[in-house]
Amino acid sequence: MTQGRESESETILDAEIDDPAYTEPTTSMEEQIDIVRATVDITKEAARAISITAIEAVRESALFMGVIGSRGELLDPFIHIDAPIWTEPEIPRHMVETSYEFCEELTRREAGNFYHSFKYLPEEKRRSIMAYYAFCRRADDIADGDFEDVFPGGSSDDPESVNYRSDIERLSPGGPVLDRSTYNDKMSQLFYYRKKLSTAYGDYTSTDPIFIALKDTVMKYGIQRQLLDDMISGMENDFHKNRYQSFEELYSYCYRVASTVGLVCIEIYGYDDPKAKEYAESWGVFMQLINIIRDVSEDAKRDRIYLPLDDLARWGISEEDIKSGETLLEHPGWAPFVEEYLERADGYRQRAFKLLTHLDKSARYSPAAMASFYQSIMAKISKKKGDVFSERIQLSKTEKILLAGYVYIRYRFLGF
């Protein structure tokens, strides 16, 4: 169902991971949901109906604001353009450059460890990675935060938005796991976010700086839209599913929200062998599995359990045990469960590091740094025997600097 996946037989035959990598099952229900999602687009008629032709606004006011306000806040440099769609065939280059500046500043403010791994990339790759990060960041802020995206003319009451979320809800197993008001609002927000994404692959362009930079990036590197659509779908899945019965179910989720990120990144980094796609998929799964175990307490407080229920049950751990927080450390099954879980994650880590030798030498530091940071977090969780409750497991500033320096020398200069 998803582009870029390797065949099931190739994955199962890979002896380096005990658990066969999962190929997402294709069912009529899932196909129908993806058909609904794939129809989201900016049509010619819609563009005419909602646009004032942004170029007229630019001609009337050539002043473009910077991306940082007088109080240090991040500003949309094109907020004065009262139109969601640019209908002209080309965008002035200074708008594209300003859009990249916006994405880089957003990444610097919000990406933390990722920003420091991105900043050593060659300029063109760095700017494109940050444009893609900004796209992912905003989607996550909508789905899991309180960020409200702006799409002039769009609202949760718009018939097109209502039909979209109604179709997705009807086809999804079970009802929404959010309250009705929040569900309607967030599904509508992501619906319009998909519309903005469609402009990166069509004749029109969103006047949102993130999507101006993203369009330039996807055209430059030939990035498949399916990968970006799948990431948004993973965000939507959180509105319909807050439990995962098996690891196979969890793998499908990890692929959408994390492996797709790795698959997009390597298109920007550059690679010399198609097998890099397999390793990029594992890279995403590894990092997401570590996120899940590190954040298990925080997620449980929001009634989300990403740990496979079947695996928990084998160690006698119930949902109530997961929700109990720090007292879970006293459960005889928790430590061995965590050990087994981390062994599985380590299998994907080993494959993830095989990606590096297939990447352009100038780009290896970035994924190596990210994977190394997560490897260190995994080691800390293992050393603490699964105590992710007493305090958040993270690297200190000193640890980050020392690790970053080691990784930079090893992968940027020594090349291995």
CATH assignment of the domain containing 383: 1.10.600.10
Whether residue 247 contacts residue 308, with contact meaning beta carbons closer than 8 Å, is answered with: yes
Domain boundary among 208, 225, 241: 241
| For the chain, counts of helices (H) and of strands (E) | 20, 2
20 is a domain residue: no
| Together in a domain, 90 and 212 | yes
| Together in a domain, 182 and 275 | no
| Together in a domain, 124 and 260 | no
Tokens 């109604």 -> residue: 166
Q: Which residue has the higher pLDDT, 153 or 21?
A: 153
Domain boundary among 241, 265, 286: 241
pLDDT value, residue 27:
61
Phi and psi angles of residue 74, each rounded to the nearest 5 degrees, phi first: -80, 130
Mean pLDDT of the chain: 85
Total of domains in the chain: 2
Confidence of residue 115 (pLDDT cuts 50, 70, 90): confident
Phi and psi angles of residue 140, each rounded to the nearest 5 degrees, phi first: -65, -40
Q: Which residue has the higher pLDDT, 135 or 366?
A: 135
pLDDT value, residue 88:
76
13 is a domain residue: no
Range in 34-48, 177-191, 298-312, 317-331 with the lowest mean pLDDT:
34-48
| Together in a domain, 159 and 76 | yes
- Is 34's pLDDT higher than 80? yes
Q: What is the CA radius of gyration of the chain?
A: 22
Tokens 């903005």 -> residue: 196
17 is a domain residue: no
Both ends of the chain: CA-CA distance in Å? 35
pLDDT value, residue 69:
75
- The maximal CA–CA distance of the chain, rounded, in angstroms, is 70
Residue 134 structural domain: 27-241
293 is a domain residue: yes
Read off the tokens for 181.
């008001």
Tokens 């949309």 -> residue: 76
Tens of pLDDT, residues 175-199: 899 999 999 999 999 999 999 999 9
The helix, strand and coil proportions of the chain, stated in percent and rounded to the nearest 5, come to: 65, 0, 35
Q: Return d(Cα 289, Cα 377) in angstroms, integer.
A: 11
Average confidence (pLDDT) over 30-41: 84
Confidence of residue 410 (pLDDT cuts 50, 70, 90): confident
Average confidence (pLDDT) over 149-174: 85
pTM of the model: 0.85
4 is a domain residue: no
Q: Return d(Cα 149, Cα 215) in angstroms, integer.
A: 18
Sequence-ordered list of residues with C-beta below 8 angstroms from that of 131, at least 6 positions apart, any chain: 99, 100, 103, 210, 213, 214, 216, 217
Range in 145-159, 174-188, 390-404 with the lowest mean pLDDT:
145-159
- Is 36's pLDDT higher than 90? no
- Is 3's pLDDT higher than 90? no
| Together in a domain, 130 and 251 | no
- What phi-psi label fits residue 359: left (phi over 0), alpha (psi between -120 and 50 degrees) or beta? beta
In angstroms, the Cα distances linking 131 to 7, 117, 190, 317 are: 30, 15, 18, 42
Tens of pLDDT, residues 119-140: 788 999 999 999 999 999 999 9
| Together in a domain, 251 and 231 | no
- Is 38's pLDDT higher than 80? yes
Q: Return d(Cα 73, Cα 238) in angstroms, integer.
A: 30
Read off the tokens for 170.
């009807």
Q: Which residue has the higher pLDDT, 77 or 389?
A: 389
pLDDT value, residue 11:
41
- Is 286's pLDDT higher than 50? yes
| Together in a domain, 100 and 203 | yes
Domain boundary among 215, 241, 267: 241
363 is a domain residue: yes
| Together in a domain, 172 and 50 | yes
Cβ atoms within 10 Å, residue 168: 21
60 is a domain residue: yes
| Together in a domain, 229 and 337 | no
Range in 24-28, 87-91, 241-245, 295-299 with the lowest mean pLDDT:
24-28
Average confidence (pLDDT) over 351-371: 91
- Is 235's pLDDT higher than 70? yes
Confidence of residue 44 (pLDDT cuts 50, 70, 90): low
Sequence-ordered list of residues with C-beta below 8 angstroms from that of 198, at least 6 positions apart, any chain: 40, 41, 42
15 is a domain residue: no
